[in-house]
Amino acid sequence: MPELENRIWMNMLIAGAAVAAITTVVIAWNSTQKAPLVKTRNRALELLYEFQHAAATPLHALRQIAEHMAIEMRAGLRRGGKSNLLMLPTYVENLPDGDEEGLFYALDLGGTNFRVLRCLLGGKDGRVLKQEFEEVSIPKALMLGTSAELFDFIAERLVDFVSREGEGFKTRNGMQQTVREMGLTFSFPVKQQSVKSGAIIQWSKGFDIADGVGADVVALLQSAINRQRGPKIEVAVLVNDTVGTLAGGRYWNEDVMVGMILGTGTNACYVEHDLPSHVQSGSGEMIINMEWGGFWSSHLPRTFADEQLDKESLNPGQAGYEKMIGGMYLGEIVRRVLLRMEKEASLFGGPVPSKLKEPFSLITPEIAKMHADESKNLRVVAKVLRDVFGVQKTDLAARRIVHDVCDIVIMRSARLAAAGIVGIFKKIGGEAFDSTDSRTLTNLHWDSQEPQQLDTKRIVVAVDGGLYEHCTQYRVYMRAAVNELLSEAGAKRLQIVLSKDGSGIGASILAARHSQHRGANKITCPMERPSEAAERPSVHLCGGNSSSCSQHTQSELPPRSTQFTQSEPTPRSTQFTQSEPQSNWLQATQHSVSYVYGLEYID
């Protein structure tokens, strides 16, 4: 018995010792595991703070940037003036006034997609009676090929679209109308010789077609159209997308003075009254395409990710401002920061996922989605990391860091764009800008020759582009920065509105304005007035082929506002949701939509 007891005691002792040993190992293992975890997490936070610091846009820096923008604008306007802004005369000297009437086309080329649209204009009372568009993605190879390859591809789709013109688009002389006039929106820098000709200066946004540089873009397109042997189509105007946006906005609101794009790329144009002597204008004003993507200032907050991105881009040393603001680059900046965090701080636990190493694998709509994630556990962030990089499991701390990186990059873009707007405002808008010490800043650089009546006039900025349209927080950040930079009176005078798809519609309105065939292009019958149309909006969704069009009521579509109010912006929630179309922003898709009632101002 005592022997049995001894054995039991002995066994218990052994078992106890084993448990103790295992516990010690587990504790020790845990502590060896936790130590690096804490260490790496701290390193990730260090990297986050470092990035945040380098990307910061404090008010004093934004002021300097706005000031510098205004200085560069003046320099760029002077003949031979040295400036990093091209300040290109556009020869658009007559802006829409609502009288435009008839059927006009537009081709909008400048990103990963191009868009063709037809627009039936009904004059002052009718406005945009009907419009229809189709969007086509451009194969990557064509963005890097020859100009003939690119323009043949585009012309084929354009001719196909024009030849599918439905009965609803008939003009008064529709049966005899032999020429379809078109506005060409070309969203790259062009040195225009007239309102319908211009030589390509350089490519951007992932395009690099060497034989196109120096060529007349209208001639390139016109010969490609002629090669198609389809309906007769003539380019009536050549405009930058910013110019189309300004014209589209002006069509509805005569205070629109600035057109701006915040999409794949970024740029702005404005109506200049104080033209230098070498730029002649019958009306005394002309739209100037700033090409502000090329703006540079030592006050721009440049991080390691911007430097890497620029070095490896197709146009190193160029388009510095655009590379900090444009949708083409924001996702890539975030990816580079996350890659560094993964390499140096095992943010996702290692090994480095191959997709994370792939340039441009994270596109801006994805970071906008993560940024808009308000769930407690950042579910959307986890999903994007899984879908895009194949990172199966992430902890909440890592997801928070990712969210913060997206916020820093989006906020920087919005605040820098705001400084640019304020720079334009400084150039054209008159006195009363600065929130704290308006006298110092306004008197310092104010050009007294500029028209004084502008001092009190409202200035409306029409903005087009997915970044502004789809990312609610972007609009909030931008408006907040504008308000910080301006005095209260100045902020009240500056209104920013979304001019949805304005660049294409604006081009067709400008084509009407510069039409050579006005008589043949009158509308056929009294159409619905916009107020009636707005009450009964009808929308057609087509699969790129008119026979497959089906009619949908407005309520089946993502919410649209058709208000044309003058009120101050009330940010609408347009975050990416399942029902929100992301298709026409950076994502290559093909579809066609027509609305009875045109432009949309939601801001």
Q: Pick the closest to residue 87 from 237, 250, 233, 290 (CA basis).
A: 290
The Cβ-side half-sphere exposure at 497, using a 13 Å CA radius, reads: 34
Give the nearest distance from C-beta 463 to ligand BGC in angstroms: 11
Q: Pick the closest to residue 199 from 185, 220, 181 (CA basis).
A: 220
Residues 204-233 as x/- pattern, contact with ligand BGC by CB under 6 A: xx----------------------------
State the burial class of residue 316 (Cβ atoms within 10 Å of its Cβ: 0-12, 13-18, 19+). exposed
Backbone angles phi, psi at 390, to 5 degrees: 70, 20
Sign of CA pseudo-dihedral 19, 25, 31, 34: negative
Helix 2-54 to helix 327-345 angle (10° resolution) is: 140
Radius of gyration of the chain, Cα coordinates, nearest whole angstrom? 28
Give the nearest distance from C-beta 418 to ligand BGC in angstroms: 17
Query: Tokens at residue 396, please?
Result: 């909440």
Residues 287-316 as x/- pattern, contact with ligand BGC by CB under 6 A: ----x-x-----------------------
Check if 187 is active-site: yes
Nearer to ligand BGC, 272 or 291 (CB): 291
DSSP code for 434: B
Q: Give me the torsion for CA of 116, 118, 123, 126, rounded to 10°.
A: -110
Integer Cα distance of 275 and 297 in angstroms: 25
Query: Tokens at residue 533, please?
Result: 């149309």
Check if 197 is active-site: no
On whether the CB atoms of residues 285 and 461 are closer than 8 A, the answer is: no
Give the nearest distance from C-beta 309 to ligand BGC in angstroms: 15
> Binding to ligand BGC (CB under 6 A): which residues in 146-205?
187-189, 204-205
63, 108, 115, 250: the catalytic one is 115
63, 118, 147, 187: the catalytic one is 187
Nearer to ligand BGC, 213 or 557 (CB): 213
Verify binding: residue 240, ligand BGC, rule CB under 6 A.
yes
Check if 241 is active-site: yes
Residue with tokens 């002629």: 226
Nearer to ligand BGC, 198 or 293 (CB): 293
Pairing of strands 197-200, 190-194: antiparallel
Chosen residue from 242, 297, 499, 584 binding ligand BGC by CB under 6 A? 242
Give the nearest distance from C-beta 467 to ligand BGC in angstroms: 11
From residue 458, how far is each of 66, 251, 258, 433, 494 by CA, in Å? 19, 16, 11, 13, 6
On whether the CB atoms of residues 411 and 471 are closer than 8 A, the answer is: no
Verify binding: residue 265, ligand BGC, rule CB under 6 A.
yes
The window from 126-134, 146-154, 265-273, 416-424 that contacts ligand BGC (CB under 6 A) reads: 265-273
Give the nearest distance from C-beta 596 to ligand BGC in angstroms: 28
Give the nearest distance from C-beta 280 to ligand BGC in angstroms: 23
Verify binding: residue 399, ligand BGC, rule CB under 6 A.
no
On whether the CB atoms of residues 319 and 328 are closer than 8 A, the answer is: no
Nearer to ligand BGC, 88 or 362 (CB): 88
Give the nearest distance from C-beta 250 to ligand BGC in angstroms: 17
CB atoms within 10 A of CB 155: 22
Say how many residues touch ligand BGC, by CB under 6 A: 17
Nearest residue to ligand BGC, by Cβ distance, number only: 265
Verify binding: residue 261, ligand BGC, rule CB under 6 A.
yes
Residues 552-581 as x/- pattern, contact with ligand BGC by CB under 6 A: ------------------------------
Nearer to ligand BGC, 315 or 546 (CB): 315
Helix or strand or coil: residue 200? strand
Give the nearest distance from C-beta 205 to ligand BGC in angstroms: 5
Verify binding: residue 502, ligand BGC, rule CB under 6 A.
no
The window from 98-106, 259-267, 359-367, 586-594 that contacts ligand BGC (CB under 6 A) reads: 259-267
DSSP code for 59: H
Cα 198 off chain centre by: 24
Verify binding: residue 245, ligand BGC, rule CB under 6 A.
no
Chosen residue from 72, 310, 322, 332 binding ligand BGC by CB under 6 A? 322
118, 147, 216, 241: the catalytic one is 241
Q: Pick the closest to residue 69 from 318, 316, 290 (CA basis).
A: 290
Q: How many residues does the chain have?
A: 603
SS3 sequence of 462-490: EEECHHHHHCHHHHHHHHHHHHHHECHHH
Residues 101-120 as x/- pattern, contact with ligand BGC by CB under 6 A: ---------x----------
Give the nearest distance from C-beta 505 to ligand BGC in angstroms: 16
Nearer to ligand BGC, 40 or 242 (CB): 242
Q: Pick the closest to residue 414 from 585, 262, 258 (CA basis).
A: 262
Contact residues: ligand BGC, CB under 6 A: 110, 187-189, 204-205, 240-242, 261, 263, 265-267, 291, 293, 322
> Which residues are catalytic, by number?
115, 187, 241
